[in-house]
Structure 1
Amino acid sequence: MDERLKRAAETGNIDALYSFIHHDANVFKRTDKMEFVDTPLHIAAVTGNNGFAMEMMNLKPSFTRKLNQDGFSPIHLALLSGKPEMVFDFLSIDENLVRLKGREGFTVAHYAARDVNVHLLSQFLDVCPDCIFDLTMRRQTALHIAAESKNFEAFKVMLEWIQKTFKDSRSTRIKILNLQDKDGNTVLHLAASNNQPQMIKLLVKCKEVDRKKINQLGFTAMDVLQRETLADNRTSVKILKSNPHRFSKFSNFNGILTDYFKEMKPETINSLLVVFSLVLSMTYQAILSPPGGFAEDGAAGSNNKDSREGKSVMTSTNFILFYISNGVAFFISFVIMISLFDVVAKNIMFCLWQLYLLMCISYGLASSTIAPSNSVSDFVVFAVLIILALFVGISSFRFRKY
């Protein structure tokens, strides 16, 4: 590069830039043909001459993606030189520069995750969400880099952003959180190898994280953690062994159903709503009209205590089998209906939960009333109490996020 042009870039002298262009109109054409070169834009990025850099990007947009002999583009140099304003100027021209790979496949998002530049990292994720999928030459995402570099703040920002941005796509969350690098290590493996209890705790809370994933050495994250002897790892081991989701199995299943339904066409969802509404109505009606009907007055003699008037004529065994199969169908229909409404009518979910809770109570009372014997009636009441407790637990857990 001509020394006069280099000085113009270092000092930010735009007049000198155009004076040089008047002197040699093809100077940038020759530079552009070179595969790896320091352009005036690279120099302006390092020195922080924003005005000069913007003028260069206007004249030669191709320079923004040119790598120098060290494998850095202008936006990489601006970030590594501590010039955040320059980085934002680059992104105002082309947001996809966030995904531009330089030395070892690093993007600016990877560097921000490594160097704990949380503000810039948040900006990168907002302007270009797909940058979270970008891999280095070691097949590491920015999340891997943060875990490997022990940068908890950057790690937390990305994890919360992933949960928020992809809350409607469980498959995407699974893909990102369980992605393996070239050594087969997931983010959890790296957090475990560095004995980072705070990172491990956040990951364990994510239902999508696979704790049984093995790396190329055949080790799980727990294996990696237990092999760590240089530091006290008891806290991390305890966290990794814990199961914060043990009381939310149904909610997890319901969430999986909801994710599947979100990928369906609206016409399909409407058809399913009709079908399962009919199943729900049929199972509820069936308990009010059991097979064989009801015993009539005098069917059990004159002793009022043993009177079976209004009771099902079915034997106790048959009634219990009927009650269980019918109740399971009712409950499954309920679960699927709730998941469907969670897709098409989330704003009225609170009212629907109360409505179905009342239906369940009515279902239990009706079943208990027509039970052929007191023992069967007690069984029904016990089953209803368990279901009610389950309903209350599920609803309280589920509505924490609404």
Structure 2
Amino acid sequence: MDRNLFEASLTGNVQVLNALLQEDDFILDRVSLTCFNETPLDIAAMRGHLDFVRILLSKKPSLAMSLDSQRRTALHLASAQGHVEIVRELLYVMGSEACGFRDQDGRTPLHLAAMNEQLEVIKVLIQTKPDFGREIQENGESILHTCISYNRFEALKLLSQLWNEDDLAKLTDGNGNTLLHRAVLQKQIQTVKYLLQKSSIKETGSVVNGHGLTALDVLDHRPRDLGTLEIQSVLMEANILRAKDVRPHSRPFQASIESKYSQNVTNPESKPRGCMSRLWNWYLNDNGNWLEKQRGILIVAGVVVVTGSFYTALHPPGGTFSDPNNGPLGNAVQTEVVMDNFSTFLIQNTIIMVLSMLILLVLLSGIPLRNKLCLWVLNLATLCIMIFVIITYLQEIAWMSPDTYINPTTMIMCLAWILLCLLFAFIHTIFFVIWAIKITWKSSRTTRNKNSVGL
């Protein structure tokens, strides 16, 4: 390319361009014979020189069809930069089919406009040829997947109007990821909330991708932080399930009903009967979603208990010495009265704080709360905290009262709560032990069966 023509393209100098055209009528014809990847039209389109582009298109319209080293046209470049008027000029010369030209990555001008969130250009392109916005790239992605990948929320909202709600729910990429999968994977809370406003996406939100994961399962593979917890809360409020909780849809609906009916007829004892049977069935099959939904609240409650225990340790009952004439500054008053009482209080308070931190550790670790071991640990830790809180409460009342007097009603209520907590701890432990024994027995039986088959 002539150097003067190149510099004129960079600056959009129309006077220099007209002078060059008058001096050499074939200057634009020789552009394709040079080693430059970009034509003067490409450079002017990127820079937004509208008048310069108009002259080039009027003198040599075929420049609009030229491809650079990445197989991009001037329309691609102008769309990426958001030069709306230049886009209109190029479309007038190239025709509406130019909206479907793809570069070496399979992206159309609309893709580049969406990736850079050039909303006015997007409007022009979809008005010219809306069908191209619904085309799928070679990698299986739709343009909406691209918007999510580049976190272009406004472009996503604008382009999603090209599909009806049912079609939006069916859009998947090459790995089977729906729009909701992709938004969760990118941890885009705003996009997740927007997609779940669509009834069809919300209804089909528990579908699995190519790896057999729902959107909620995908979240488990992301680093745990506040954003992850917020998205998890939003998904659970929308009743999005994990893959293992989704009913298989491989069999026809009627066939599954008939199969279930025949199973009940042939084996009438399979249905649990009685209170204990129903309770046992609940313990084995409960999916724990209710606890997952409350994870954030439980974390806040754990932090409050830990903070309260820390504060109580620094400000024990009876206070501390603030006057050196009465005792060592900062020492607890109880240490000068009955040291054993203070030591007991300190041990109980420490146990409460350590158990609360254990609960926080389990909640923040990302372990699924449907895990029976996890549930058992959380239940026992919580019940132990309640028991030690009640015991500490009774002791402090006794130490503050004359002759360690405690009102009988208060004593009865506190003891009743302690017994109730112990009862629940015993029940949960029994259920957990039975569950562990059954799992171990099934595992050993499966191993024996495999060995016998091998023999």
Provide the TM-score with structure 1 as the length reference: 0.50
Q: Distance in 2 between matches of 1:187 and 1:106?
A: 19
Deviations 1:213-241 (A, max 9, x none): 43332223232134334321322322442
**Residue aligned with 1:211, SS:** coil
Q: Are the counterparts in 1 of residues 84 and 120 from structure 2 also a CA contact under 8 Å?
A: no
One-letter amino acid matched to 1:224: V
Q: Are the counterparts in 2 of residues 226 and 237 from structure 1 also a CA contact under 8 Å?
A: no
Paired position in structure 2 for 1:148: 149
Distance 1:44 1:192, change over 3 A: same
> Does 2:46 match 1:43?
no
> Does 2:212 match 1:214?
no
**Residue aligned with 1:241, SS:** coil
Q: Distance in 2 between matches of 1:226 and 1:127?
A: 42
Q: Distance in 2 between matches of 1:36 and 1:4?
A: 14
Q: Distance in 2 between matches of 1:68 and 1:146?
A: 24
> Does 2:217 match 1:223?
yes
Q: Are the counterparts in 2 of residues 110 and 141 from structure 1 also a CA contact under 8 Å?
A: no
Q: Distance in 1 between matches of 2:127 and 2:52?
A: 27
The equivalent position to 2:170 in structure 1, one of 178, 198, 213, is: 178
Q: Distance in 2 between matches of 1:43 and 1:200?
A: 38
Paired position in structure 2 for 1:257: none
> Does 2:197 match 1:199?
no
Cα drift, residue 68 of structure 1: 1.5
Paired position in structure 1 for 2:83: 83
Distance 1:240 1:82, change over 3 A: same
Cα drift, residue 16 of structure 1: 4.2
Distance 1:63 1:182, change over 3 A: farther
Distance 1:62 1:187, change over 3 A: farther
Q: Which moved more, 1:182-191 or 1:22-31?
A: 22-31
Paired position in structure 1 for 2:53: 53
Q: Are the counterparts in 1 of residues 115 and 146 from structure 2 also a CA contact under 8 Å?
A: yes
Q: Distance in 1 between matches of 2:200 and 2:140?
A: 20
One-letter amino acid matched to 2:232: R
Q: Distance in 2 between matches of 1:141 and 1:43?
A: 29
Q: Distance in 2 between matches of 1:182 and 1:95?
A: 28
Q: Distance in 2 between matches of 1:156 and 1:239?
A: 22
Q: Are the counterparts in 1 of residues 72 and 103 from structure 2 also a CA contact under 8 Å?
A: yes
**Residue aligned with 1:104, SS:** coil
Deviations 1:35-68 (A, max 9, x none): 9831110121123221120121223323223222
One-letter amino acid matched to 1:180: T
Q: Distance in 2 between matches of 1:51 and 1:120?
A: 18
> Does 2:228 match 1:236?
no
Larger radius of gyration: 2
Deviations 1:249-270 (A, max 9, x none): xxxxxxxxxxxxxxxxxxxxxx
Cα drift, residue 137 of structure 1: 4.5
One-letter amino acid matched to 1:156: K
Distance 1:197 1:186, change over 3 A: same
Gaps of 5+ in 1: 167-172, 244-402
Q: Are the counterparts in 2 of residues 200 and 240 from structure 1 also a CA contact under 8 Å?
A: no
Distance 1:54 1:129, change over 3 A: same
One-letter amino acid matched to 2:219: L
Paired position in structure 2 for 1:309: none
Deviations 1:82-132 (A, max 9, x none): 533323332344344333322422223222322333333233222221132
Q: Distance in 2 between matches of 1:222 and 1:35?
A: 52
Cα drift, residue 73 of structure 1: 2.2
Q: Are the counterparts in 1 of residues 142 and 172 from structure 2 also a CA contact under 8 Å?
A: no
Matches within 5 A, 1:22-41: 23-32=23-32, 37-41=37-41
Cα drift, residue 147 of structure 1: 1.7
One-letter amino acid matched to 1:141: S
Matches within 5 A, 1:105-120: 105-120=106-121
Deviations 1:151-183 (A, max 9, x none): 222222222x235xx5xxxxxx64454232222
Distance 1:71 1:236, change over 3 A: farther
Q: Distance in 1 between matches of 2:118 and 2:181?
A: 23
Paired position in structure 2 for 1:134: 135
Matches within 5 A, 1:6-25: 6-14=6-14, 16-21=16-21, 23-25=23-25
Q: Which moved more, 1:8-17 or 1:224-233?
A: 8-17
Provide the TM-score with structure 2 as the length reference: 0.45
Q: Are the counterparts in 1 of residues 79 and 118 from structure 2 also a CA contact under 8 Å?
A: no
Cα drift, residue 207 of structure 1: 4.6
Deviations 1:295-334 (A, max 9, x none): xxxxxxxxxxxxxxxxxxxxxxxxxxxxxxxxxxxxxxxx
Q: Distance in 2 between matches of 1:52 and 1:3?
A: 16
One-letter amino acid matched to 1:144: H
Paired position in structure 2 for 1:279: none
Select the structure with the greater relative contact order (CA < 8 A; seq sep ≥ 6): 1
Gaps of 5+ in 2: 242-455
Cα drift, residue 150 of structure 1: 2.5
What value does the CA root-mean-square deviation take over the aligned residues? 3.2
Q: Are the counterparts in 1 of residues 79 and 110 from structure 2 also a CA contact under 8 Å?
A: no
Distance 1:240 1:31, change over 3 A: farther
Q: Distance in 2 between matches of 1:41 and 1:101?
A: 18
Q: Distance in 2 between matches of 1:92 and 1:33?
A: 26
Distance 1:201 1:78, change over 3 A: same
Q: Distance in 2 between matches of 1:70 and 1:77?
A: 11
